[in-house]
Structure 1
Amino acid sequence: MNEPALESDEKRSQKVANTIESSVGGGSVDVALPTDRTTMQHCTEWLKRQGATDTSYAFVPHNSAKYGARPAEQSSWWIDYGNFQRGVGALGGGNVDINAGGDLDNLTVAMPTNGRVRGGRTVAEQKTLEVRNGGALTVEAGGAVRAGYYYLGRGAGTIEAGEFAVGREVRVTSGSQVTTYPIAPILSLGDATLDVRTAGDLRLQTFLDPLLVSSGDPYAPNFISSHTERTALSPRLDRRRRHSGQSGHLPVEGCGSNIRQFYGRCYPFYQ
């Protein structure tokens, strides 16, 4: 009995084109902020992804508890442009340069990539990863970086400020108990390097891969790792900028609650 022919990648690309937008050829953003700015939005609101494999890591049709029978879904991620509503972003590639005379309060800076895996619909079919976009990130704040979200998907970046500090609070209610969590800056990297420089304290909420953060949909536990051997965060204390009597230290808050605890459902790009 003859096996059914596999659908070509080109034909499949035409089918998903109505729901997935992969941008290229973006431009650079140069912003001067003489005063404090507050505008934050987390990546889970606009960074979308899909992908499902069987136990042999082949992309095959599968059943979803929420959506029913689903076709083979090769790993991919893309930008939902309509939901990117706050912050500064180079969403189609390019550089971002931000210079603030004062504090940066709860600012979102996003330089994401988009990508997909071709092939892999059988164990024997080779997988090929395609990643687009990236750039250079430069952020300078004359005051403090307070909370906020900074994401560099691919490239190299530098963030320099007088200090990195808590900028907002999140209150969680469980029954009659209310717990308050102070939120410091969140740094996110894919295939990228980031230098963080300060003359004072360097307090970070977490350092993470946004493609490994839960989307909040319990029926879509598809995780993708965008970290590579090049991914690196380098914190540096700039003694030339330190004022008399000012100390520097690097506390990093825990982030276990941000990532779901069933890593068996993480879908790799390739084996």
Structure 2
Amino acid sequence: MNAGRDIELKSNTSVIYTAGMKTPTAAGFVVGSKLGDYPTAGGDIILTAGRDITAPVVKQSTAAWLFHYGETNWTGDPAASTVKDQASWSIMFANFESGVGPLGGSDVRVRAGRDSKDLSVAIPTTGHLTTPTTPQDQAGPVARAEDLVVRGGGNLDIETGRDLLGGVYMLGRGHAALNAGNRIAASGALGRERTSFSSSPYYRDAPVAMLIGLMDATASVTAVGDITIEGIYDPMLIGQVDANLTANKRGSAFVSFSDRAAVDASSTSGNVAYQENILRAADLSLGGAYEVRLGATSETIRGLGLIPS
């Protein structure tokens, strides 16, 4: 998509994505009642604007369109815990309202002559575990790394002539290069932010800076001026929407940060600020159609920290 002047996504339902091909899952994985697709062979997306690229602040978390499942017969020792429900994560195309995404896997390239404002990009993977399930208190196989089938992913390359403002950038597998000719900061547009786990009102509206979600992926963030990153989060640990829960409202969560998950941030002449507000990745959904509510003790979000060099 090329524009001599501006590219504008006017609403949250204004999205650009490639779906790829519907692809069968591997032998041994039982889909059962699990929702979502496991596509492959998505196509590249290229956005080029002579001036600005703008979008509204997203009002959903990754959990709205990337459903995940799984449960173990937990013994306290992962090497001795069998599979109760095979782990998986899959695409819910109809729910996607997060800007731009090659949802079957591929690359995204964005160029703005001036600013990119609140554009969000998601390049997910899908995954499914083929280890057989075992009833509670019975002997059975333990999940192995080679039993996990992961598809999709890709690289993200964003470059602005001036400012890179806001945005949620999620990568399942690959590398994101986020580069600004001036600064990386919040745009001033408002999004939901949690103020309480219990009392009402439990959220407020506040500016949203850059959020980065990583699984088996890395990101480099560079700017000439100041850089502000609000949070770096694990997409599989940010809670789930109601449609992704069981009948008794039970959910699942697992760590998807791989050993190589990392973010490098570098400013030529400014400051680098990391706000460590990893809850914001879920907070943006509050009050919306794909709301994720977190209990103070029942849900966990895990984030990356930045180490000054």
Q: Tell me whether the two structures share a fold, i.e. TM-score over 0.5.
A: yes
Identity %: 27
Q: Does residue 88 of structure 2 align to residue 76 of structure 1?
A: yes
**Match in the other structure for 1:36:** 53
Q: Does residue 206 of structure 2 align to residue 186 of structure 1?
A: no
**Match in the other structure for 1:89:** 101
Of 142-151 and 123-132, more deviation after overlay is shown by: 123-132
Unmatched segments (≥5 aa) in structure 2: 1-25, 76-80, 283-293, 303-309
Deviation (angstroms), 1:202: 1.1
Rounded Cα–Cα distance in structure 2 between residues aligned with 1:83 and 1:171: 21
With normalisation by structure 1, the TM-score equals: 0.77
CA contact (8 A) 1:185 1:204 kept: yes
**Match in the other structure for 1:140:** 159
CA contact (8 A) 1:39 1:86 kept: no
Q: Secondary structure at the match of 2:258?
A: coil
**Counterpart pick for 1:166 among 173, 186, 191:** 186
**Match in the other structure for 1:231:** 261
Q: Does residue 278 of structure 2 align to residue 255 of structure 1?
A: yes
1:81 counterpart letter in structure 2: F
* Cα RMSD after superposing both structures: 2.8
Deviation (angstroms), 1:249: 2.7
Q: Deviations over 1:37-69 (max 9, x none)?
A: 114433122111111222233333xxxxxxxxx
**Match in the other structure for 2:113:** 101
Rounded Cα–Cα distance in structure 2 between residues aligned with 1:110 and 1:172: 23
**Match in the other structure for 1:20:** 36
CA contact (8 A) 2:47 2:109 kept: yes
Decide whether aligned partners of structure 1 residues 255 and 85 sit closer, same or farther in structure 2, where only a CA change above 3 A counts. Answer: closer
Rounded Cα–Cα distance in structure 1 between residues aligned with 2:168 and 2:208: 11
Rounded Cα–Cα distance in structure 2 between residues aligned with 1:135 and 1:178: 34
Decide whether aligned partners of structure 1 residues 58 and 87 sit closer, same or farther in structure 2, where only a CA change above 3 A counts. Answer: same
Deviation (angstroms), 1:28: 1.1
Decide whether aligned partners of structure 1 residues 175 and 142 sit closer, same or farther in structure 2, where only a CA change above 3 A counts. Answer: same
1:164 counterpart letter in structure 2: I
Of 122-131 and 198-207, more deviation after overlay is shown by: 122-131
CA contact (8 A) 2:115 2:165 kept: yes
Deviation (angstroms), 1:116: 1.1
Rounded Cα–Cα distance in structure 2 between residues aligned with 1:75 and 1:230: 21
Q: Secondary structure at the match of 1:75?
A: strand
Q: Deviations over 1:1-30 (max 9, x none)?
A: xxxxxxxx847636458x331001112111
CA contact (8 A) 1:38 1:107 kept: yes
CA contact (8 A) 1:48 1:79 kept: yes
The structure number with the bigger radius of gyration is 1
Decide whether aligned partners of structure 1 residues 222 and 120 sit closer, same or farther in structure 2, where only a CA change above 3 A counts. Answer: same
**Match in the other structure for 2:168:** 149
**Match in the other structure for 2:148:** 129
1:145 counterpart letter in structure 2: L
Rounded Cα–Cα distance in structure 1 between residues aligned with 2:276 and 2:175: 24
1:186 counterpart letter in structure 2: L
- What count of residue pairs does the alignment treat as equivalent? 237
